[in-house]
């Protein structure tokens, strides 16, 4: 397919598009389903004040929630997928808006449910389960609702906290608007005098340039602009952590970290173990930094040299058919049943493959998994796109297994484990490609791709997590987060993580202001833990074979039937210990050693 001139959606051959008729045969069928779903708010409201009256009533309500979940999964995703295949399709945007409005209405009608279920006395709820065996399937979601009940306040206080919650998103919204809409960077020059527009979107692309002067100019200009607004940005981040401290105190948690992780059922030790394990393996990062300095041939390695490739381009053209065949071959270690699902996705139009005018950028696996998952790609004929295919099909097949083997109420999986299956596929593909080639240039190109993933996902995200932990402690101790103390803390950590061969330019002390994730609540560590767990699982699969594959498929089939740490234990990985992270970084070290050997 010629991707130079983007085709209109109507010009894309059908075989390269996903088949939305598997959800609804046409828009008329979708409209009817939406009209039918408009009855749900009234049906839900009929249970208000009644959920503790009997086991039968509670069972009826939980079954209704399953029905609603299935209905809206189809309604929302059909509209979302249609709007993403062509964002210029006004009708699809209207459909998506209608779906969202209907979801808001039903969620508003059911706002009473969690507080009511939490307030059912333990003995009474136990009696419900004994009396009604059919209710047992809902034990896990009910336990999840009640998990934080000691931190739930009176209905009056909860109403006030709900209203405060609407304001709590203010710092994130304000910070995002300031960074993405109001900050203007202008243009920066390359070594030949050519000018390049700089924005929050183009910054990393310019930092990947082989032109060092362009990289330096982009770096300096970007942080010059952040420096001009550093006090405003610090005040916004201070407000973010003040609201986290407010909710921590209101709900009687010991720390903002504990308050944030409690919702995901992840113990705070997992967070601390990650940081401890990475600290113990910083020598490998330092070795990588020294190798980067050597291969770039620079007297000093600066922070604007972090993203540029260190291997001369050994890229091959990889068309979609070749990518499919290679991914299929690499994942054959997961058994014929896994490959059969992969083939079903390849052959039955689960995937929207190529870019077209107005199509959403990037790639994803959809939330819908009934009748099957859908995958959006914008495939280019290169290595990155082949890894993206493996990654997104990992998500899709995880969803497929969870849906097939779990009841509706536990068929979804939480964010802590969400990136595991996708990254397992990437690791298996990388190992397969390395096994197939002895060409030094190609091996170096592949290893560099993998090392960059490790560096960006484990080391960098852990540095972010440690910074977040430090500023959380400062906020809990009633210290104001000022630009000066934020910059000092960030520069200290940057020096610690990059080591002696990196010049930690003063400008990098302002990087905290550029990272939107600091306005989430302790989120970034999950990138590092998910990547580490996936590496550990892939290594087990390749070393142990069938027993490890069987355990991994059980994990894929478990949805949210257990807490996330217990789910990963099924696959043989204990994230409550530092071991998986340490093992992953041991592999990182081995790859750095091989890279050093190849490059002489």
Question: How many CB atoms lie under 10 A from the CB of residue 326?
Answer: 18
Sign (positive or negative) of CA dihedral 47, 53, 55, 56:
negative
Question: How many CB atoms lie under 10 A from the CB of residue 102?
Answer: 20
Question: How many CB atoms lie under 10 A from the CB of residue 172?
Answer: 18
Measure the CA–CA gap between 225 and 230, rounded to whole angstroms: 9
Measure the CA–CA gap between 92 and 464, rounded to whole angstroms: 38
Q: 11 near 356, Cβ under 8 Å?
A: yes
Closest by alpha carbon to 283, among 592, 596, 57? 592
Tokens matching residue 117:
């279920």
* CA 22 vs CA 372, 488, 539, 564: distances in Å: 8, 55, 36, 31
Closest by alpha carbon to 161, among 87, 251, 86? 251
Measure the CA–CA gap between 513 and 249, rounded to whole angstroms: 26
If residue 12 lies in a helix (H) or strand (E), which one and from where to where?
none
Query: Which residue among 172, 392, 419, 426 is the active-site one?
Result: 392
Question: How many CB atoms lie under 10 A from the CB of residue 259?
Answer: 23
Residue with the two structure tokens 């340039």: 209
Measure the CA–CA gap between 307 and 68, rounded to whole angstroms: 46
Whether 392 is catalytic: yes
Closest by alpha carbon to 175, among 227, 234, 222, 223? 234
Greatest CA separation for the chain: 79
Measure the CA–CA gap between 373 and 398, rounded to whole angstroms: 10
Measure the CA–CA gap between 580 and 531, rounded to whole angstroms: 10
**Where in the sequence numbering do the catalytic residues fall?**
392
């Amino acid at each position: 397919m010629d991707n130079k001139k983007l085709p209109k959606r109507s010009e894309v051959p059908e075989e390269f598009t996903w088949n939305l008729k598997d959800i609804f045969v046409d828009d008329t069928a979708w409209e009817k389903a939406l009209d039918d779903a408009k009855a749900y708010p009234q049906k839900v409201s009929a249970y208000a004040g009644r959920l503790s009256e009997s086991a039968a009533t509670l069972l009826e309500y939980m079954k209704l929630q399953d029905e609603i979940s299935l209905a809206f999964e189809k309604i929302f995703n059909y509209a979302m997928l249609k709007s993403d295949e062509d964002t210029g399709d006004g009708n699809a945007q209207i459909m998506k808006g209608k779906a969202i409005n209907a979801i808001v209405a039903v969620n508003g009608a059911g706002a009473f449910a969690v507080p009511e279920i939490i307030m059912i006395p333990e003995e009474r709820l136990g009696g419900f389960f004994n009396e009604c065996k059919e209710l047992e399937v809902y034990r896990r979601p009910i336990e999840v609702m009640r998990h934080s009940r000691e931190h739930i306040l009176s209905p009056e206080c909860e109403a006030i906290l709900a209203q405060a919650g609407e304001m709590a998103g203010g710092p994130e919204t304000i910070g995002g608007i300031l960074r993405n809409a109001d900050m203007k960077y202008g243009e920066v020059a390359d070594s030949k005098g050519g000018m390049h527009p700089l924005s929050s979107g183009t910054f990393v692309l310019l930092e990947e340039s082989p032109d060092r002067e362009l990289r330096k100019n982009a770096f300096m200009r970007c942080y010059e602009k952040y420096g001009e607004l550093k006090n405003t940005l610090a005040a916004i981040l201070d407000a973010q952590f003040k609201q986290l401290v407010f909710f921590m105190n209101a709900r009687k948690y010991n720390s903002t970290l504990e308050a944030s992780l409690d919702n995901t059922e992840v113990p705070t030790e997992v967070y601390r173990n990650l940081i401890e394990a990475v600290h113990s393996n910083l020598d490998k990062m330092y070795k990588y930094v020294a190798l980067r300095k050597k291969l770039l041939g620079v007297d000093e390695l600066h922070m604007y040299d972090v993203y540029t490739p260190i291997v001369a381009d050994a890229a091959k053209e990889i068309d979609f058919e070749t990518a499919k065949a290679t991914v299929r071959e690499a994942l054959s270690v997961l058994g014929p049943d896994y490959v059969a699902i992969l083939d079903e996705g390849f052959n039955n139009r689960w995937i929207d493959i190529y870019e077209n005018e107005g199509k959403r950028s990037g790639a994803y696996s959809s939330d819908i998994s009934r009748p099957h998952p859908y995958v959006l790609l914008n495939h280019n004929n290169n290595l990155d796109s082949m890894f993206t295919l493996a990654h997104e099909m990992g998500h899709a097949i995880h969803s497929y297994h969870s849906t097939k083997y779990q009841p509706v109420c536990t068929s979804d999986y939480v964010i802590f484990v969400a990136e595991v299956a996708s990254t397992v596929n990437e690791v298996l593909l990388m190992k397969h490609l390395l096994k197939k080639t002895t060409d030094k240039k190609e091996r170096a190109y592949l290893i560099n791709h993998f090392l960059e993933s490790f560096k960006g996902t484990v080391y960098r995200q852990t540095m972010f997590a440690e910074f977040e932990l430090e500023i959380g402690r400062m906020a809990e101790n009633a210290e104001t987060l000022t630009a000066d103390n934020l910059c000092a803390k960030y520069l200290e950590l940057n020096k610690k993580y990059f080591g002696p061969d990196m010049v930690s330019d003063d400008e990098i002390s302002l990087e905290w202001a550029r990272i939107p994730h600091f306005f989430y609540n302790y989120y970034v560590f999950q990138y590092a833990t998910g990547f580490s767990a996936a590496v550990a699982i892939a290594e087990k699969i390749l070393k142990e074979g069938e027993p490890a594959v069987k355990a991994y498929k059980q994990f894929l089939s478990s949805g949210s039937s257990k807490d996330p740490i217990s789910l990963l234990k099924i696959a043989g990985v204990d994230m409550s210990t530092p071991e998986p992270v340490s093992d992953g970084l041991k592999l990182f070290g081995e790859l750095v050693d091989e890279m050093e050997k190849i490059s002489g």
